[in-house]
Amino acid sequence: MELRPEQKDFVDYAADMIEENKTTYQQLLQCAEQKYHQKLPFVCYRLPQQPSVVVRWQEQPTLNVFDVKEAIEGFVFAPFRSNHPSVFIPFDERTTLISDTPQGDAENTTTHTPIETEADKQAHLNLVAEAVTAIQAGAFEKVVLSRKITLAKPACPFKSFTNMLLRYPSAFCYLFYHPQVGTWLAATPETLLYHHQGEFRTMALAGTKVGDKEWQPKERKEQQIVTDTIVSQLQPYTTTLKVTDPHTVCAGSVQHLCTEISGTLPTDKVNEVIQRLHPTPAVCGYPTDKARTFIIDHEPYDREYYTGYCGLIEGTKMAALYVNLRCMQIDSQHTYLYVGGGITKDSMPQKEYEETQNKAQTMKLVVSR
């Protein structure tokens, strides 16, 4: 498969790293496991369709707080909203290893039964119905509602990350750990912002289906809201804007509608654009403020870093940031899967619940103990 321009840039960057940073994938994982047991922050990641996996770590458990207004070089991990810190792991060749992506087949993971009652399901159905009523009354146009699915036991982050790399080569995959933030993994299909040498790319990703069914008006409308909002947010910053027609992309067992948006963007505007784009209507809703308020007031849990963003920033040279979707969180007792769906005036609660069940399969297929 041909690499997109931004992926080639990062392949070239990886190839240029000094030889002593290169190792085998097993040694890279062993390094990450060592940091994990030492309670030292680290991140393993692979960009979409890239042949290399990178691990970066800190020698001290410092919480480096990311300020989007400042130029940094590091891996950024930002929350859905500001009640949690945006953090980063600085780039340093002395604390970096790189390897080839593992080869072979993903592990056939066992069936994982969620700790979920009929009351939990009904609560989500009721929440969707309440949102539809609010939309029909004119409170907002779209809101993205999510679920936190609890699995009975903690997953092994390293086996699960390996499964993720093998199953989802077109996703941005990461394993992030910080003793003050926790353990998070994702295989996200959605770019928040890629910027390099004055050129940018982003996407409007929304609408979900399974199998060969035709796209329905509800999904097309949902995706168009996302496209229109992102375009309007970007127009003040660029004189050149290219918007493709929507096309279907696969993300695990589900499919989405995707519109690619690209153009020119001055380097000194990148941080401002990041603030404008996050959270996108694909993970929050529209209008943003009203949708976000509904989410905060009605969702029965704190999203923390789910639907935040993460990825690489290299000062003013390059940014490759992704929306934190299809993610899981692991603690000492449980594994938590995060899934959601866009609600519009035409949404049907049962179908929306089924959509979240389908999306959860993306993570269930990689969870390993």
| Contact present, 325 and 186 (Cβ < 8 Å) | yes
* Within a domain: 80: no
Question: What is the spatial distance between Cα 73 and Cα 16, in angstroms, rounded to a whole number?
Answer: 17
Does one domain contain both 258 and 310?
Answer: yes
| Contact present, 91 and 42 (Cβ < 8 Å) | no
Does one domain contain both 215 and 326?
Answer: yes
Domain count, the chain: 2
Does one domain contain both 145 and 281?
Answer: yes
Boundaries of domain holding 91: 5-61+86-102+156-185
Does one domain contain both 134 and 213?
Answer: yes
Residue 333 has what DSSP assignment? S
Does one domain contain both 314 and 178?
Answer: no
Looking at residue 111, its pLDDT comes to 66
Per-residue pLDDT of 101-149, as tens digits, reads 999 888 877 667 778 889 999 999 999 999 999 999 999 999 999 999 9
* Within a domain: 315: yes
Per-residue pLDDT of 94-110, as tens digits, reads 899 999 999 988 887 76
Residue 332 has what DSSP assignment? S
pLDDT tier for residue 6 given thresholds of 50, 70 and 90:
very low
List the beta bridge partners of residue 251: 254
Tell me: pLDDT of 333 over 90. Answer: yes
* Within a domain: 112: no
List the beta bridge partners of residue 185: 175, 328
What average pLDDT does the segment 281-292 reach? 94
Per-residue pLDDT of 159-196, as tens digits, reads 999 999 999 999 999 999 999 999 999 999 999 999 99
- Among 193, 267, 196, smallest CA distance to 233 is for 193
Does one domain contain both 160 and 303?
Answer: no
* Within a domain: 216: yes
* Within a domain: 74: no
Does one domain contain both 165 and 127?
Answer: no
* Within a domain: 77: no
Looking at residue 172, its pLDDT comes to 96
Element holding 175 (H helix, E strand)? strand 172-178
- Residue 147 belongs to a domain with what CATH number? 3.60.120.10
Does one domain contain both 163 and 202?
Answer: no
Q: What is the DSSP string of 186-242?
A: EEE--EEEEEETTEEEEEEEEEEE-TTPPPPHHHHHHHHHHHHHHHHHHGGG-S-EE
Does one domain contain both 194 and 177?
Answer: no
pLDDT tier for residue 14 given thresholds of 50, 70 and 90:
very low
| Contact present, 288 and 304 (Cβ < 8 Å) | no
* Within a domain: 260: yes
Percent of the chain with pLDDT over 90: 75
Q: What is the DSSP string of 263-310?
A: EE--GGGHHHHHHHHSSPTTTSEESHHHHHHHHHHHSSS--TTTTSEE
Does one domain contain both 297 and 328?
Answer: yes
> C-alpha 215: how far from its chain's center?
24
Look at residues 170, 185, 200 and tell me which one is the last residue of a structural domain.
185
Does one domain contain both 286 and 168?
Answer: no
Residue 134 has what DSSP assignment? H
Does one domain contain both 219 and 163?
Answer: no
* Within a domain: 76: no
User: Terminal CA-to-CA distance of the chain, rounded, Å?
Assistant: 32
Looking at residue 17, its pLDDT comes to 55
Structural tokens at position 207: 């609408």
Per-residue pLDDT of 226-261, as tens digits, reads 999 999 999 999 989 999 999 999 887 789 999 999
Percent of the chain with pLDDT over 70: 94
Question: What is the spatial distance between Cα 41 and Cα 36, in angstroms, rounded to a whole number?
Answer: 7
